Amino acid sequence: MPASTRHHRALAVFVHCLGILAALPALPAAAPEAAAAPRPAATPPRPAVTAPPAAATTSRPALPATATTTPATPPRPATTGAAPATVAAPVAVAVAPTPPSAPPAVAPPSRAPASVPPPPVTVAVAPESSPAPRYRIRVSNQGNAPVDTTVRQELPPGSSATSISAGGWATRTGGSAAEVTWRLKLPARSTTTLGTALTATAPGQPITAPACAFTSDGSRPYDCATATWQAAAPPAAEVTEAPAWRRIPVLLAGLAVLLLLTAGLAWIWHRRRGRRRVVAAALASGGGPATGGTDGRGTVYPRPATPTPSARRRTPPVWLLVGTAVAVLAGVVGAVGWTATQRVAAIDTQKQPTSGAWMGTGVSGPVGVPLRESAFEFTVYRVSCATAGSAGGTTGGRRCQATVGVRNVTGEQQPWHGKLQRAYLPGGRFVSTDEPATRVANLGRDVFADPVAAGSRVVLPLVFTVDGRDQPRQLELRSGVFSAGVRVDMP
C-alpha cells in the first residue's frame, strides 16, 4: 500500500473521530432545532463532502464538512458522485429525534374550582306576618329569553295547603310529604310572585316550607330557597314574670325570716317575764329593819339582812331551737333544689356531643333548615324516591334524588367526596351517593371532581340507590373525613 494512501486513510479516521467527539455534546441541544427546521437546512454541507479531488489530495477542506456532518459518514469522502445520496440518508434520520420527556420533579398544577354560571331562574321565599302560616314565593327570570320552569314547595309533615295562588295544585309524591306545584312560562327579565297558606301543625310551632325552581321536566333544579314561619309573639303583658310573692325562693326565704323573728320575739318575752317574777318575789318577801324590810317610817335599808339568791339566767327552750334549725334547713334545701331544677331544665338535650377526633359538633334538623358544620352549610330542600318498577328504578333498587344546597362558609376552596354523603335506611344500614347516576342527573358533570369555591353556593341533585321498599330515614352530609357533618331527618 502506498504511503500516501495510508496517511490519507489515517488522517481521515482521525478527522472522523474528531467529528464524532464534536457532535456528541451538541446532539441533545440540536435535536429540537433539527426537528423544528425544514429538511433543506441540512444541504449546505453537501458541496464540501462531494468534492472528489480535494478530499483525496488534502484533508483540510474536509474538516469543516466532517465537523458539520453526522458520525454515520465514515470513509466516504474519497468516493465520487454517489456520495451525496449516501450522506443525505443519515442526515434525514438525525433531523427527527424523539422529544425529551418532562422532568419528573415538576409538580402537577393545582386543581382550581370550576366556575359555575349563575342560574337563569332564581327563587326567594319569605313568610308573611299572619295568624296562619303564609308564604310569598318570588320566581325571577334573569335571562334574555323565556324559560319554562316547574316550581315546587315542600310542605312539612302534618300540614296541608288551604290556599294556593292561581295555577298551582297540591300533590303527594313518594318519599316526601305533600307539595304544591306550579308550571310557569317566565318571560325574559320578569318576576312572578306565588303564594300559599298552610294549616298549622301545632299552635305556636314554627313551620319551614322550602321551594325550588326546576327545569320544565322537573329533574334538574335551577335554584332553591327556604323560609320559616314564626307565630306572632304574645303581648308583653302576657309574658311578664310572676310577682315576687309567687316565686318559690322568695316564699321560702320569707318563711325562714318569719320563723326567726317569731323565735326571737318569744325568747325576749320569756326573758322579760322571768325578770318580772324575780322583782315581784323580792317585793313580796319584804320585812322590818332587822330583816332588811321597811321600818315604821317606810324606809328601805340599802342592804338586806338576809342575802337573796341570784336569779339564774334563762335560755331559750329546746323546742324553739330545734324548730328554728329545721325551718332554716328546709328553706336552704328548697332554694338549692329549685335552682338545680331550673338549670337542668335549661340544658339542651338535642345537642349531640362528639369525640375529640371530629372537627365541629354534629347537628341535626329537618328538611329545609340550613345546617352548618366545619366547612359547609347544607340545606336539603327536597327528597323524592321513585317507585319500584318505574323509570327511576333499577334492577338492584330504587333511586332517591335529594336536592341539596351547599355553601362554603370558609375563606378558601373546599373539596368534598361522594362516598361521604350517605342515606341511612331502617336498621342502621346506609348507602353512599350513586356517583354515575348523580353525574347523569347533573348533565354529565362530576360535581365532586372540583372543589367548592370560597363563599360560593351551589344547588345540585344527589342520587342514592336504595334496595327494597324502605324509604331513607336520614341523610348524612359532610365536607371531609374528620368533619362531624350534619344529619337531616326525612319526613
pLDDT digits (tens, 9 = 90+) for 391-442: 455 556 789 999 999 999 999 999 999 999 999 998 889 999 999 999 999 9
Q: Per residue in 112-143, pLDDT tens?
A: 665 667 889 999 999 998 888 999 999 999 99
Closest CA to 399 of 433, 368, 447: 433
- CA pair distance 448, 451, nearest whole angstrom: 7
Shortest CA distance to 382 belongs to which of 475, 470, 455, 458?
475
CA distance 9 to 75: 8
Which of 154, 134, 102 is CA-nearest to residue 367?
154
* pLDDT on residue 79: 40
Burial 96-119, CB ≥16 within 10 A → b, else e: eeeeeeeeeeeeeeeeeeeebeeb
Lookup: cell for 427: 336498621
Beta pairing, strands 147-154 & 161-164:
unpaired
Give the whole-angstrom CA distance, residue 255 versus residue 328: 9
CB atoms within 10 A of CB 259: 19
Predicted local confidence at residue 255, as pLDDT? 78
Average pLDDT, rounded, for the chain: 74
C-alpha cell at 351: 345537642
Q: What is the pLDDT of residues 37-56, one digit of tens each?
A: 444 444 444 444 444 443 33
For residue 464, pLDDT over 90 is answered with yes
The confidence score (pLDDT) of residue 273 equals: 76
Is residue 453's pLDDT more than 70?
Answer: yes
3 state DSSP class of 330 = helix
**483, amino acid identity:** S
pLDDT of amino acid 409:
94
pLDDT-wise least confident of 114-128, 254-268, 465-479 = 254-268
Tell me which amino acid residue 318 is: V
Q: Can you give the pLDDT at residue 63?
A: 41
| pLDDT in the model for residue 77 | 42
- Cα-based angle 221, 377, 373 (whole degrees, multiple of 5): 145
Query: What's the one-letter identity of residue 229?
Result: W
Of residues 218, 217, 193, the one with CA closest to residue 140: 193
In sequence order, what are the residues at sequence separation of 6 or more whose Cβ sits closer than 8 angstroms to the Cβ of residue 467? 396, 397, 398, 431
- The residues, any chain, with a CB within 8 Å of residue 308's CB and separated by 6 or more, are 282, 285
Per-residue pLDDT, 234: 58
> What does the alpha-carbon distance between residue 425 and residue 413 come to, in Å, rounded to a whole number?
32
| pLDDT tens, position by position, 347-370 | 554 444 444 457 778 899 999 999
Task: Classify residue 279 by its DSSP letter.
Answer: H
Asked if pLDDT for residue 176 goes beyond 60, the answer is no
Pairwise CA distance, residues 476 & 401, whole Å = 14
DSSP-assigned beta bridge partners for residue 301 = none
pLDDT at 93 over 50: no
Contact by Cβ (8 Å): 220, 441: yes
Residue range 388-399, pLDDT digits in tens:
555 455 556 789
Range in 155-159, 235-239, 433-437, 487-491 with the lowest mean pLDDT: 235-239
Q: What percent of the chain stands above pLDDT 90?
A: 36
